[in-house]
Structure 1
């Protein structure tokens, strides 16, 4: 096993593999958006189902409330993510314009910033001066280096439209799963809820496993942790619905 892992690592770090990976763009940026949308979609929908079941609502009411929340909350979340990424990109563009202006007005000061940045990384002497000269000879490289090194900004993969659409699609796809049993005619209410519970638990677990691909966490632990968090949200919704039914006589 250790030998196979080493061989896989060596293959990933072959010069050609490294070149392909670095030039491959930011396709992986969509995965966090999908995970975010999927988790929130499943929590939102199953919370509605749990609350409806706890309050004694009929399957039809649970289905209507679930789909209404699925569409409304999914759209709201997609718009929120779109605006957040758009604001982030506008901030990066603003800082980029400032850096271009600084290079025009005080190029020696900006060159010294590059020198200080790479001095802190351990470069010195002739090598440091060669690095500074190489970077500052390319204006775009100069500015992008300042964005990353001085301001700590991400300059690639910021697509508001893609983030919004991926979030919305994941929200709908995963969030619809707990509603599937309520769309099946002839099932008893308890059976519908238990089936919905099972599907929601499976979604939480799978999403948690997917998170491990992004954040490099242990797969099983990540799945269980997300399952527990989703279960806690559903339990709170069920308790709220049950208390509402007991206190206010809300039922259908």
Structure 2
């Protein structure tokens, strides 16, 4: 028992040492140039997509309203009402799409399981050809397929991914959580452009100054989202921030220009 314990301890120390060495190499780039791993999270897509859409949508609305020379009260009323309405729509849309995707995957798995049960030979042949098309040697492909054929659940999942390109449904996924996260992210990020019209109330009544403040807060929010996107995807921070800011600037400029043009066409006076 003492020898086994000592061996396990030595192995644990060796593994910890190797892990530590790997972490050090990763921090300084690593001798092998190993790419940086993306941050893994269950709601990454919902946060990034909802955040970017919220900032661009809300700031574009503010830009069009400001170009039409409406008051700060109009900006706040229309901005927050639009923010909540769009947030509910986005959250519900994410919930529906996630639920549909999960239901489709479950249905496809049931169909694939039936095919594997009733037409095992044909399914094995299809998977064999799929592996060969990917460049696997015929003997190796045959060996792999024969092994998978012994385990029905594994074979069904592999058949779904290799032949249909669909991941098996994950029972741990909760579509309502995706919808809730999307709604929350939309409200949080979308509030950034509107904060200027609230924070500056005690200091100035100049709507132009408040609009400039909204521009600055929107740019900061977009930059923060760009940094988060770079961290999540393992991308270059400067490039990700630049793309995000450029997207927001184009949308805001288009909204401001359109609002100004429509104001002149409608003959609205300042």
Asked if TM exceeds 0.5, the reply is yes
Aligned partner of residue 34 in structure 1, secondary structure? helix
Distance 1:8 1:169, change over 3 A: farther
How big is each residue's C-alpha offset from its partner over 1:5-57, in whole Å with a ceiling of 9 and x where there is no partner?
A: 116978x99xxxxxxx9xxxx95241121000000100111111111111111
1:239 aligns with 2:257: yes
Instruction: From the superposition, tell whether residues 240 and 156 of structure 1 become closer, same or farther in structure 2 (CA, over 3 Å).
Output: same
- The answer to whether structure 1 residue 73 and structure 2 residue 97 are counterparts is no
How many residues of Structure 1 are paired with residues of Structure 2 in the alignment? 239
Matching residue within 230, 241, 257 for 1:223 = 241
**Deviation (angstroms), 1:247:** 2.4
The residue that corresponds to 2:6 in the other structure is: none
CA contact 1:57–1:251 (8 Å) conserved in 2? no
Aligned to 1:205: 223
Q: Are 1:137 and 2:147 an aligned pair?
A: no
Please tell me whether residue 103 in structure 1 is matched to residue 116 in structure 2: yes
Alignment RMSD: 2.7
Is contact 2:230-2:240 (8 Å) kept? yes
- TM-score, normalised relative to structure 2: 0.79
2:16 match: none
Deviation at 1:239, TM superposition (A): 1.5
Aligned-pair CA distance for 1:133: 2.2
Deviation at 1:95, TM superposition (A): 1.1
**Match for residue 30 of structure 2?**
6
Among candidates 192, 207, 221, match of residue 177 of structure 1: 192
- Asked if 1:46 corresponds to 2:59, the answer is yes
How many Å apart are 1:128 and its aligned residue? 3.4
Q: Deviations over 1:178-210 (max 9, x none)?
A: 111111323221221111100101111222232
After superposing the two structures, state which structure 1 stretch, 241-250 or 199-208, moved more.
Answer: 241-250
The worse-fitting range, judged by mean Cα deviation, of 61-70 and 46-55 is 46-55
- Tell me, in whole angstroms, the C-alpha distance in 2 between the residues paired with 1:100 and 1:31: 31
Q: Are 2:69 and 1:60 equivalent residues in the alignment?
A: no
Q: Structure 1: give runs of 5+ residues left out of the alignment.
A: 14-20
| TM-score (norm: length of structure 1) | 0.85
Q: Give the 3 Å change call, closer, same or farther, for CA 85–77 of structure 1 in structure 2.
A: same
| Uncovered stretches (5+) of structure 2, i.e. residues with no partner | 1-23
